[in-house]
Copies of this chain bind each other. A is one copy, B any other.
Amino acid sequence: MASSTEENYLKILFNLTHEKGEVNISELSSQLGVSMPTVNSMIKNLQKSDLVHYEKYKPVTLSEKGKKTAALIVRKHRLTEMFLVNKMGFGWEEVHQIAEQVEHIHAPKFFERMDEMLGFPTVDPHGSPIPDKHGRMQELHYKNLSQVKPGNQVILVALADSSSDFLEFLNSRKLKLGMELKILSKETYDQSMIVSYENQQSETLSEKVCEKLLVRSVE
C-alpha cells in the first residue's frame, strides 16, 4: 500500500495531468514543495510499484494502476470537502487543508457513509468532479468566463482555482456556483469584464479572475 507521501505524489500527478496534460519533474517539485532530486528518486519508487511510467528526461505519466489509485485518493478528498461543507457547515474556503489530511485515511466504510449521507454527489463544493468508487471520473470541459463574448449569459459551474484566497475573493463578491452571470462588457485594454448576476448586482472582474471561473451556457 502506498504511503501518504506516495499518495501525495500520485494525487498531484493526477491533477496536473488533467490541468496541463504533461507533467515534468520540475513542475512536481514546485507543486510538492520538495527538491527535484527528491522527486526523481520518488518517481523511481513509484515506477517500481508500477504506478507510473518513466524514462529519463521524459515527462512522467500515470500507469492504469496509478490512475486508479490517484482517482480514489482524489475521490476521498472531494467527498470530504463536500461532507465538510454540506454536513458540517464549513465554508468552501476552509475545507481544503482538512481534506488534505482526511484523504489519507484508510477506511472504505467511512467514505462510503459520507457518500451515502451526501446523496452520492458527482461534484465537490468547487464544482470539480468526484471520481466513482472504481476510480472513474467524468471529464468535464467547461469554458472559462474570459472566453465568453459580451452579451451572453452563462451559469457558473466550477472553479479552476480552489485556493482559499480566491474563494474568499468570491465570497466577498457574493459569487456562488450555480449563479447565472450576464457579461455586460469587456474592456479591450486589460480584458477585464463587467458582469451582472442574481439581484442585478454588477461587478468588474479582472482577466485573472475570469480565467478561473468555469461556466456553461444557459440552455
Chain A interface residues (CB < 8 Å from chain B): 84, 88-90, 94, 97-98, 101-102, 105-107, 109-110, 113-114, 117
CA distance A114 to B88 in the complex (A): 8
CA distance A174 to B135 in the complex (A): 39
CA distance A34 to B101 in the complex (A): 25
CA distance A89 to B114 in the complex (A): 11
Q: Please, which residues of chain B bring their CB within 8 A of the CB of A84? A: 110
Copies of this chain assembled into the complex: 2
Closest B residue, CB atoms, query A87? B87
Q: Please, which residues of chain B bring their CB within 8 A of the CB of A105? A: 98, 101-102
CA distance A90 to B106 in the complex (A): 16
A101 touches B109 (CB 8 A): no
Give, as a whole number of angstroms, the nearest-CB distance from A96 to chain B: 11
B113 touches A90 (CB 8 A): yes
Give, as a whole number of angstroms, the nearest-CB distance from A72 to chain B: 16
A117 touches B98 (CB 8 A): no
Choose one: B101, B109, B117; the contact of A106 (CB below 8 Å).
Answer: B101
Q: Please, which residues of chain B bring their CB within 8 A of the CB of A88? A: 110, 113-114, 117
B101 touches A113 (CB 8 A): no
